[in-house]
Amino acid sequence: MAAIELRNVTKKFATADGGTYTALKDLSLTVEEGQFCAVVGPTGCGKSTTLTLVSGLERPSRGEAFVHGQEVNGIETGTGFVFQQDAVFPWRSVLDNVAAGPIYRGKDRGEATTLARDWLRRVGLSGFEDRFPHQLSGGMRKRVALAQTLINEPRILLMDEPFSALDVQTRAIMSTELLHLWDQTKPAVVFVTHDLEEAIALADKVVVLTAGPGTVKAEFEIDLPRPRVVQEIRFDPRFIELYEQIWEALRAEVAEAYDRTTRSAVAS
């Protein structure tokens, strides 16, 4: 049984002017237990929408979403979600942010705090327990978000361009750390990104979506050995080979999406 399965899902949104916008069309995607799947595609192809369907934040207009064989019906609390923007609570200290999940799930405060301290140590934030998020750098806030999500030991981890706001160096370091953390509990991951290099470096499987409305254009198995060091793997000959293959599939879609934005810019 697959950890995540999207079966022919279509998602339409109502637009402000009364029309409908189709974000996803007839998309099917399967992620196995413990598999790291990266989804790449041009801007506006509905990458993030796939995550909201798996997490239950949105329902598909057509088709079905399954998690561990169960149809997704409302918010899936067994699912971890790391957002693109900061979604840590700015009015809570770092420790209280990380302890939030266990408390919501019924642990008592003391137990949750002990667990939160342990997770802060694992993401390298010991000593910052009492800070507020605004007192941290962007990379540190991301690590708070990771600890906040991973402390619940989700079997499904959804990540929506989590590192896109970070500088290149921090991003590579965070990616390596993410792989290490993932290795400890091995959840099934869907990692959405527009960065092909990041996708190949992290994933077991890269899925290329078409320019919106998004549907699966091609899937690629990434057979690079683990453990990987994200900062260095891009020099591996096999990496370059894979990159060229996947880029071939992605290029046309990126050009198409870009064309559309320039055309609509001229039209408006």
Partner 1 sequence: MNDVSSIHGAQDSTTFDAMAAQAGPTPVNPAGVASARRRAPRGTRRRLTLAGVRLGIVAVALALWQLCVHAKIVDPFFWGEPKGVWQTLIDWFTVGTSQGSLGQQVIITLEEAVMGFVIGSILGIVCGIALGRVAVLSEIFGPFLKAANSIPRIILGSIFTVAFGFGIQSKVILAVVLVFFGVFFNAYQGSREVDRNLIANARLLGASRWQVTRDVVLPSAFTWILASLHISFGFALIGALVGEILGANQGLGLLIRSSQNNFDMNGVLAGMVLVAVIALTAEGLITLLERRLLRWRPPQTHGGAAVQ
What separation in angstroms does the CA of 4 have from each of 34, 107, 188, 221, 241? 10, 27, 8, 17, 28
Closest distance to partner 1 from the beta carbon of 83 (Å) = 5
Nearest to partner 1 of 8, 137 (CB atom): 137
Q: Note whether 79 binds partner 1 by CB under 8 A.
A: yes
Distances (CA, A) of 250 to 3, 86, 197: 26, 28, 12
Residue 43 touching partner 1 (CB under 8 A):
no
Stretch that binds partner 1, among 26-34, 65-73, 175-183, 252-260 (CB under 8 A): 175-183
Q: How far apart are CA 76 and CA 52, in angstroms?
A: 10
Residue number, 173 or 257, with CB nearest to partner 1? 173
Could you say whether residue 105 binds partner 1 (CB under 8 A)? yes
Of 1, 9, 3, 4, nearest to 209 by C-alpha is 9
**Using the rule CB under 8 A, is 89 a contact of partner 1?**
yes
Rounded CA separation 234/239 (Å): 6
Q: Taking CB under 8 A as the rule, does residue 80 contact partner 1?
A: yes
Site for partner 1 contains 125 (CB under 8 A): yes
Q: In terms of residues, how long is the chain?
A: 268
Residues 55-74 vs partner 1: string with x where CB under 8 A? x-x-----------------
Q: Is 114 a residue that touches partner 1 (CB under 8 A)?
A: no
Written as one letter, the residue type at 209 is L
Per CB under 8 A, 247 contacts partner 1: no
- Contact range with partner 1 by CB under 8 A, out of 1-9, 173-181, 198-206, 253-261: 173-181
Question: Distance between CA 226 and CA 223 in Å, rounded?
Answer: 9
112 counts as binding partner 1 under rule CB under 8 A:
no
Instruction: Please tell me whether residue 165 binds partner 1 under the rule CB under 8 A.
Output: no
Rounded to a whole number of angstroms, the minimum distance from the CB of residue 140 to partner 1 is 5
Sheet strand arrangement including 188-193: 79-82, 156-160, 188-193, 36-40, 205-209, 216-221
Please enumerate in sequence order all residues whose Cβ is within 8 A of that of 178, keeping only pairs 6 or more positions apart, or say none: 146, 202
83 binds partner 1 (CB under 8 A): yes
Q: What's the longest Cα–Cα distance across the chain? A: 59
Cα–Cα distance between 239 and 196 in angstroms, integer?
A: 11
Residue 85 makes contact with partner 1 by CB under 8 A: yes
- CB nearer to partner 1: give 8 or 90: 90
Instruction: Name the minimum Å distance from CB 235 to partner 1.
Output: 18
> How many residues interact with partner 1 (rule CB under 8 A)?
42
DSSP 45: S
How are the residues of the chain apportioned to helix, strand and coil, as percentages rounded to the nearest 5?
Answer: 40, 25, 35
Nearer to partner 1, 167 or 241 (CB): 167
* Residues found near partner 1 in the complex (CB under 8 A): 55, 57, 75-77, 79-81, 83, 85-92, 100-101, 104-105, 122-126, 132-137, 139-140, 148-149, 152, 173, 176-177, 180-181
